[in-house]
Amino acid sequence: MTQSLNYFKETPSQTAGPYVHIGCTPNFSGLNGVFSEDLGVKILNDQAEGTRITVRGVVYDGKGAPIKDALVEIWQADAKGLFNSPSEIRGAADPNFSGWGRCPGEMESGEFVFETIKPGVVPFKDGRPMAPHITFWIVARGINIGLHTRMYFPEEIDANAADPILSRIDHKSRVPTLIATQNGSEYRFDIHLQGDNETVFFDI
């Protein structure tokens, strides 16, 4: 006999279902008058430091159809690479930038849009720099457990090549699934749940 570890099991995930918007973005779904505003709508205010960018995309299913009931959340560092989080111990992040955004897919097109800033560099646990990136979390009807992934920036060619996470991907042909396309300050990051372009999702 040994002592018990006395750890609990994590509560099992269940799908967000078709009506996740009622709970997470009720004003968006037309359920007005309960919450003053939906959380995660605004990531920054006018005083936030950094380069303004827009990130758009669509989550596609295995037949290439846009998913219209998805909810997408992002989490990222500020322009200096610091997180606005109690767990951030490296310094004080920009108080004008929350780093967290939440957007439901538009009900007809499925497109999500985030108005944010380009994040700075965050160190990996061994001190090597990670290329600038935005963490994504995706839930929808039919997704049993939320999907984690990252968006990287196409102009960061050298930093991406040295990134400790991207370099962990065995099939180099899959790396581009994590890199947005750019048009000025607009970035496009489509997410494919299946198929040849299936996005690399993380068990992290």
Partner 1 sequence: MSNEKRAQGAFFQRDRNWHAPAYTPTYKTSVLRSPQKALLSLDNSISEMTGPVFGHNQIGELDNDLILNFSQNGELPVGERIIVHGRVMDERGLPVKGALLELWQANAGGRYRHKKETYLAPLDPNFGGCGRTITDDNGDYHFRTIKPGPYPWPNGVNDWRPAHIHFSVFGDGFAQRLITQMYFEGDPLIWKCPIVQTIPSEEAVRQLIAPLDMGNTIPMDSLAYKFDIVLRGRRSTMFDNRREGN
**In the complex, which residues of this chain contact Fe ion (CB under 5 A)?**
17
Which one of partner 1, Fe ion, none is in contact with 9 (Cβ closer than 5 to 8 A by kind)? partner 1
At its nearest, how many Å lie between Fe ion and the CB of residue 17? Answer: 5
Residue the block writes with tokens 């002592």: 3
Nearer to partner 1, 2 or 6 (CB): 6
* Residue 160's binding partner out of Fe ion, partner 1, none, with CB under 5 to 8 Å set by partner kind: none
Closest separation between CB of residue 184 and partner 1, Å?
26
Residue with structure tokens 């993380």?
202
Q: Residues 29, 188, 151, 132: is their CA dihedral positive or negative?
A: negative
Closer residue to partner 1, CB minimum distance, 188 or 201: 201
CB of 79 to partner 1, least distance (A): 15
Which amino acid, 177?
Answer: T
Per partner kind, with CB cut-offs from 5 to 8 A, the member of Fe ion, partner 1, none near residue 36 is: partner 1
Q: Minimal CA–CA distance to 153: which of 129, 173, 180, 123?
A: 180
Query: Residue 108 or residue 158: which is nearer to partner 1 going by CB?
Result: 108
Encoding tokens for residue 75?
């989490």
C-beta of 110: minimal distance to Fe ion in Å? 20
Burial class (CB in 10 A: 0-12, 13-18, 19+), 113: middle
Cβ at position 157, least distance to partner 1 in Å:
21
Q: Quick one: CA dihedral 79, 85, 87, 90, positive or negative? A: positive
Q: Which does 173 bind (CB under 5 to 8 A by kind): partner 1, Fe ion, none?
A: none
Q: Tokens 């037309």 sit at which residue? A: 30
Reading the block at residue 143, the tokens are 């997704």
Judged by CB, which is closer to partner 1: 63, or 183? Answer: 63
User: Do residues 38 and 71 lie in contact, with contact meaning Cβ atoms separated by under 8 Å?
Assistant: no
Looking at beta carbons only, is 86 or 184 nearer to partner 1?
A: 86
